[in-house]
Structure 1
Amino acid sequence: MFLVKNSFIRYLIMLLPVLVISCASAPKVTRTEAGEQIDLSGEWNDTDSQIVSAEMIKDALSRAWLEEFVRTKNNKPKIIVGSVLNKSHEHINTETFVKDLQRELINSGRVNFVASKAEREEIREERKDQQTGFTDGSTIKSFGKEIGADFMLNGTINTILDEIKGKRVVYYQVDLELIDIETNNKAWLGQKKIKKLVKRPGIKL
Structure 2
Amino acid sequence: MKTFLKSLLAAIAVLTMTACASNSVQRVDGGEQPQLTDRWNASDSQSVAEALIPDMLSFPWAKPGADGELPVIAIQHISNRSHEQIPVETFINSIKRELLRSGKAEFVVTGAERERIRDEKMDQEMFASMDSAVEMGEETAATFALSGVITSLVDQLEGKRTTTYQVDLKLIDLRSNREVWNGQKQIHKYSERARFGL
Q: TM-score, normalising length from structure 1?
A: 0.82
Answering whether residue 51 of structure 2 is matched by residue 58 of structure 1, we say: no
User: Which whole-Å CA distance do the structure 2 matches of 1:161 and 1:22 have between them?
Assistant: 31
Kindly tell me the number of residue pairs found equivalent between the two proteins: 183
Q: Larger radius of gyration, structure 1 or 2?
A: 1
Residue identity in the other structure for 1:155: G
Question: Which residue matches 1:24?
Answer: 20
Question: Which residue matches 1:10?
Answer: none
- Residue pairs, 1:36-75, within 5 angstroms: 36-67=32-63, 70=64, 74-75=68-69
Contact 1:81 1:102 in 2 (8 A): no
Greater helix proportion:
1
User: How far off its partner does 1:27 sit?
Assistant: 3.2
Question: Which residue matches 2:104?
Answer: 110
User: How far off its partner does 1:158 sit?
Assistant: 0.8
The worse-fitting range, judged by mean Cα deviation, of 107-116 and 186-195 is 107-116
Question: Which residue matches 1:90?
Answer: 84
SS at match of 1:35: coil
User: Which whole-Å CA distance do the structure 1 matches of 2:156 and 2:31 have between them?
Assistant: 30
User: How far off its partner does 1:117 sit?
Assistant: 2.2
User: How far off its partner does 1:83 sit?
Assistant: 1.3
Where has structure 1 moved over 4 Å in runs of 4 or more? 20-23, 71-74
Contact 1:77 1:150 in 2 (8 A): yes
The unaligned stretches of length 5 or more in structure 2 are: 1-12
Contact 2:144 2:173 in 1 (8 A): yes
- Residue pairs, 1:73-84, within 5 angstroms: 74-84=68-78
User: How far off its partner does 1:26 sit?
Assistant: 4.5
The unaligned stretches of length 5 or more in structure 1 are: 1-16
> Quick one: which of 83, 93, 96 aligns to 1:99?
93
Contact 1:52 1:192 in 2 (8 A): yes
Contact 1:154 1:176 in 2 (8 A): yes
Q: TM-score, normalising length from structure 2?
A: 0.84
User: Which whole-Å CA distance do the structure 1 matches of 2:133 and 2:94 have between them?
Assistant: 32
Contact 2:154 2:164 in 1 (8 A): yes
Overall identity of the aligned pairs, in % = 39
